[in-house]
Each structure stands twice: as C-alpha cells, then as structure tokens.
Structure 1
Amino acid sequence: MQVFHIQYPTRLPLEGMPSSQVMAIGEFDGVHLGHREVISRAVQTGASLDLPASVMTFDPHPRAVLGHDNYTQSLTPLAKKLELFEQMGVHCTYIVEFHPEFAKLTPAEFVEQFLMPLGVSSVIVGFDFRFGHRGSGTPDTLCELSRGRFAVEVVRPFLMDGEKVSSTRIREHLKAGQMEEAGTLLGRRYTVRGLVVEGDKRGRTIGFPTANIDPAESEAYVMPANGVYAVRVIWEGNVYYGAANIGVKPTFSGDRKLPVLEVHLLDYEGDLYGRSLEVEFLYFIRSERKFSSVDELIMQIGTDVKDIRTKLSILPHKNL
C-alpha cells in the first residue's frame, strides 16, 4: 500500500499518486465495523471500475486539534490504522495533517484544493461525514459540490442491537472494562502495541515477572479501565497468554498518577526488553485495588492467574 502525507497548503497531485481513484474519506479511529463498511465499499467500487481504492484520513485526530481532550488518545494510532487499511485491500492512503489553518477551509475549498487534484472518480463517505470549517459540509454538500465531476456514495449507519456502531460507544466500553462488547463493535479484539522497557523489576521479587510497556507509546492509545485482564500477547510470530495490569500500582506507588501497562506471560521465561509486543485484551478479571500487604497482593495475583487459566482453558506449561 502506498502512503502519501499531505500538508496544507500543498500542491497536488504529488509524484506517484494515481491519476484516478475511488476514495473513502473519514477519520476512521478504530476502523470499526461501521468504518469497514465505508472502506469496503470503496474497495468494491474500485474493483468494479478497475481503479485503485484509496483512503483519505486525518492526523492528528481533528477533535484533538479542536480542543476535545477525550481524543488525545486513539483507538488506532496511525501505524495500526495503516496496517488495518492494507489488510482490507486499500491501495493508497492519504494522511492529511490536520491543523487549525486546514480546519478553516470551506467545504468548497476542500473539494477544489484536495479532491479535484487527486482525480477522484467516486467518493465514499459515511452518513454522518462532516468536512470544512466548523463541520459545515455534509454528504449532501459533497454531492452539490461534485457538480457531476465525481460520484458520491453515502453509506448508511451500521447498526448493532439497534444502535449505531461508533468510536464513542467503543471508548465507553473500554473505560468500563467491557472488552467483549468493545471487541464486538470493532470486529476484532482491542489491542495496544508498545516496546518493552525496564520497570521497577518488583514483579520478579514476588514471583510474577512482568513486561512493562513503554508509557510514552502506550499513552497514544485509549487505555481500558484500570484493572487486571486476560490477554493474548503476540510478537515476531510468537503467541502467549497472560495477565495484564493497567493502573497506578497503589500497593507500591500511592502517588503515581498516570496508569501503566504491564503484562505477565503464562509459562514464559526470557528477556523481552526492546521487543514490540501487541497486547490483545480478552476479558476483564477484576478492578485494581490497594492491598494491605505484599503477601496479600501475591495471593491475589495467584488467584488471578488461576482464574485466567480456567477462563482460557490453559493448563500450566501449555502455550496455546
């Protein structure tokens, strides 16, 4: 998949861009089932017209730039988003840098300065697509501005249990520790990826060594609720199951404010420092809490691991 970075103002087209294409446009944070409907339509339409299918997305998240604090973290940071696009058969992705000056473009300016130079044959958007200054452009606006120069297809809302599948719903499920519900809307398990870095190494002393995910990298993600989770961990073709803890470790660090992610792999011994792990959240086990003693914490972790083995049907020393 080709990836093009576009800054405003810019001269389009850029070298290597296709002369004509079918394009899905949206933020697509999460690349959930509703997003997949829009992108799949672009891929299908492109195949029927013998044209490449492309995606235009925006980075950083427009809501983060416009002051929505809840959107400083993503369901799918850019690298993960691109990976999912490619898996869906997208040929080209255009990443438009979103900043305050770009946000001032009128809907007409966006069409004339971005879509027309890219030679779009057909544009696919969701029913709630908004573009241009203060989100004044709608799918109807896009149809009017196309003036027959390109086709516009509007994808209806993707409903589940009578409600629209949305990034907002997924974020709410994650913040409540409802991993199965979030995964249903995503169409896959929710994952967080990051490098293993040195931590305080306290886990080794209590019999449960953990891999600590780089806080700077994990902060790019929307983190699930603080607590203990059953997880699947993938790196370099290896798959392990384990227990993940998200939180401030109150038993040891009463003044910690930002949560950290650490993972204990079942039946694994070895050095993971510097490796990039993908942590796939399966089930919520319990909320984080402060224990009165280290011994009490050790007993609880032992119970957590036993519960995870039972839930996932993993026997000791057996890696599925």
Structure 2
Amino acid sequence: MQTVELQYPLQNVEPNAGPQVLAIGDFDGVHLGHQEVIQRAVQRGVELHMPAAIMTFHPHPRQMLGLDTYTKILTPLAAKQSLLRQLRVNTTYIVNFSETFMRLTPEQFVENILIPLRVNSVFVGFDFTFGHKGAGTPDTLCELAKGRFTVEIVRQFSLHGSKVSSTLVREQLLRGDVREATALLGRPYRLRGTVVHGEARGRTIGFPTANLQVSDPYVIPANGVYAVEARVGSKVYGGVMNIGVKPTFEADLAEPTLEVHLFDFAQEIYGEEVEVSLLAYIRQERKFSSIQELIAQIASDADQARHVVREVKSVQSS
C-alpha cells in the first residue's frame, strides 16, 4: 500500500495519477461500518480495473474542532494504516486537517481536492459530511460531481439493532464491554505501548507484570481486569491485564496504569513495544484488605483469563 500525505493546497499529486476509486472518511477504529464502505470501494476498483484508494484525515477533524470526547482515539495513525493495508487498498491519502483545510467550502473540496486526484467513483457513508462546518452532505457531493465522477452512498451498517459507529465503540470500551467492542470492530480492541520500569511489586507476589506506557492517545477502557493476548516480537502470549489506579497500594494515582501479566513468560522486555488485544472483561478493580487476599484474587483472575484465551484460540482454529 502506498501512503501519500497531502497538504492544502495540493502540491505532490502526480499529474498522470488516476483514474481511481476513492473511499472518504475519518475511519477512526476501522470498524465494521467503515470496512463496508472501504470494501465496496475496493470491489468497484476490481470491477473497473482501477486502483482503490482511501482518503482520511490527520489529526482527527473532531480533535481539531476541540471536542473533548476526541482527545483520545481508537486507532492512531500507524494502527489505522496497518488495518487499511489488510483491506487491500492501493493508496491511502492522509490529508493534513489544518486550519486552512477545515475552512474549505464543499465546492472547494471537490474542485481543489477530488478533481485533481482524478477520481472515477467516490464512496462515502450515509452520514458523511465535508467542507467548512460540515456543510456538505452525500447529496451535496452528488450535486457537485456534475457527472465527472459517480458517488456511492453506503447505507447505515447495524449490529444488534444499533448503528455501528466510532462513538458506540468508545461507549462500550468505557463501560468495559470489550466483547461488544470486538463485535463492532470485527477484531479485538488493541493498545500498543512500550514496557517501562514500574515498582516491581508483582514479582514479589508471584505475578510479574509488564508496565505498559501507551505510545499514542488511545481510548483507554474502563478500569478493571481483562483477559488479553499480547504480541511480543513475533510471538503472542495469553495474559491478564489490570487497568486502574491500584487501590490496594496507592491512594491518589491521577492516571490509570496498564499492567500485563503474561502466561508462561520469563523474559526481560524493558524498552520493547508490546501490542495488547483485549479479549474479555473479568471484574472491576477494587481494594483488598490484605496482600494474601489480593494474591488469591489474581490467581483466580489468571485462571479465568487462561480459559478465555483457550476459548478464543479454539474459535480461531475452527
């Protein structure tokens, strides 16, 4: 997959590029609804013998608009690119969502962005907006195309009676419902970070943990204990992760920590990157009256997490 970074006004578009099929959207999370739009574009590209491309935006438009709920994101840019690559996209255009770009009118977006890219067909979701203050809608895009390209509007994608959206994924994660988030995403929710030194308290109670410092402003799920899989290098290990403020030992942690105990693992991995996939929520974080009570609960959590990991692997291999 080729990645092309675009600044407005466009400067690095090859004059002979195109024609091409283009899917446009924020695609934060690359959930099932996003995948439907993208796969439709890819299929049209195959039918027309044209490359299929995606246009997305960085930073996220809602971050630029100062919406508090979007200070954290589901898929930082590198994670989003990796997921798009798996969807057989030929090119990803990453548009710098600058102050100048966000003030483009819908007409300017079409004439100064889409036409130079020589798009043949454009795919958007039913709730797509574009142009200054979201003035443009899919119907607007159809009108502005003026027969120069076709517009395909992909209808709402629903699951369990609800519209699949980035907002819904966020809500489920903040409730700790990672199984429902998995269903909406079509894969487990993943966090990537670097292993940093902690207090090494886990070693003293028989459950050493890797303290994860996330590398990007991810949406962090609700505090609690989770069954997980963690990729370390080329290998994947089952594990149990605690997200929270460690109330048994700490009194006033401002931010939650992420601690992962990996099963059947005894390596030193300080400074290494680890990608954690959240499989299931086990329980709320709580304060224990003694270290012995905590140890017994962690052992129980680990047993439950092992069961979840085996269950997931069984489904994957069937």
TM-score, normalization by structure 1: 0.93
For residues 194-244 of structure 1, give each alpha carbon's deviation from its aligned partner in whole angstroms, at most 9, with x where no partner exists: 1212222221122111111124x1x52111110000001113321110100
1:317 alignment partner in structure 2: none
2:289 to 288, 292, 298: 292
Measured in 2, the distance between the counterparts of 1:311 and 1:3 equals 37
Measured in 2, the distance between the counterparts of 1:310 and 1:19 equals 51
Q: Deviation of residue 144 (structure 1)?
A: 0.6
Measured in 2, the distance between the counterparts of 1:150 and 1:312 equals 48
1:193 alignment partner in structure 2: 192
* Counterpart residue identity of residue 123, structure 1: V
> Does the CA-based 8 Å contact 1:229-1:285 persist in structure 2?
yes
2:254 to 254, 257, 264: 257
Q: Deviation of residue 8 (structure 1)?
A: 2.3
> Does the CA-based 8 Å contact 2:189-2:277 persist in structure 1?
yes
> Does the CA-based 8 Å contact 1:66-1:100 persist in structure 2?
no
Secondary structure at the aligned position of 2:260 is classed as strand
Measured in 2, the distance between the counterparts of 1:310 and 1:93 equals 39
For residues 136-174 of structure 1, give each alpha carbon's deviation from its aligned partner in whole angstroms, at most 9, with x where no partner exists: 100000011111111111111111122211111111111
Q: Deviation of residue 14 (structure 1)?
A: 4.4
Q: Deviation of residue 293 (structure 1)?
A: 3.0
Measured in 1, the distance between the counterparts of 2:309 and 2:185 equals 21
2:314 alignment partner in structure 1: none
2:97 alignment partner in structure 1: 98
Measured in 2, the distance between the counterparts of 1:311 and 1:48 equals 41
Of the structure 1 ranges 24-33 and 161-170, higher mean CA displacement relative to structure 2 is found in 161-170
* Counterpart residue identity of residue 252, structure 1: F
> Does the CA-based 8 Å contact 2:32-2:185 persist in structure 1?
yes
Measured in 1, the distance between the counterparts of 2:84 and 2:139 equals 26
2:264 to 261, 267, 271: 267
Secondary structure at the aligned position of 1:251 is classed as coil
The unaligned stretches of length 5 or more in structure 2 are: 312-316
Secondary structure at the aligned position of 1:57 is classed as strand
> Does the CA-based 8 Å contact 2:229-2:309 persist in structure 1?
no
Call closer, same or farther: CA 1:12–1:269 in 2, change over 3 Å. Answer: closer
Secondary structure at the aligned position of 2:26 is classed as coil
> Does the CA-based 8 Å contact 2:2-2:91 persist in structure 1?
yes
1:283 to 280, 284, 288: 280
Q: Deviation of residue 294 (structure 1)?
A: 2.7
Measured in 1, the distance between the counterparts of 2:306 and 2:23 equals 42
> Does the CA-based 8 Å contact 1:12-1:117 persist in structure 2?
no
Verify: 1:308 aligned to 2:317, yes or no: no
Measured in 1, the distance between the counterparts of 2:123 and 2:270 equals 43
2:149 alignment partner in structure 1: 150
For residues 233-292 of structure 1, give each alpha carbon's deviation from its aligned partner in whole angstroms, at most 9, with x where no partner exists: 113321110100111212222221111211000111111222221111111011111223
1:242 to 233, 239, 244: 239
Please, what is the CA RMSD of the aligned residues? 1.7
Of the structure 1 ranges 262-271 and 194-203, higher mean CA displacement relative to structure 2 is found in 194-203
Q: Deviation of residue 181 (structure 1)?
A: 0.7
Q: Identity over the aligned pairs, expressed in percent? A: 56
2:21 alignment partner in structure 1: 22
Secondary structure at the aligned position of 1:30 is classed as coil
> Does the CA-based 8 Å contact 2:9-2:112 persist in structure 1?
no
Written as runs of structure 1 = structure 2, the 5 A alignment for 1:87-166 is: 87-166=86-165
Q: Deviation of residue 313 (structure 1)?
A: 4.5
> Does the CA-based 8 Å contact 1:74-1:222 persist in structure 2?
yes
Verify: 1:228 aligned to 2:239, yes or no: no
The unaligned stretches of length 5 or more in structure 1 are: 315-319
Of the structure 1 ranges 77-86 and 251-260, higher mean CA displacement relative to structure 2 is found in 251-260
* Counterpart residue identity of residue 291, structure 1: F
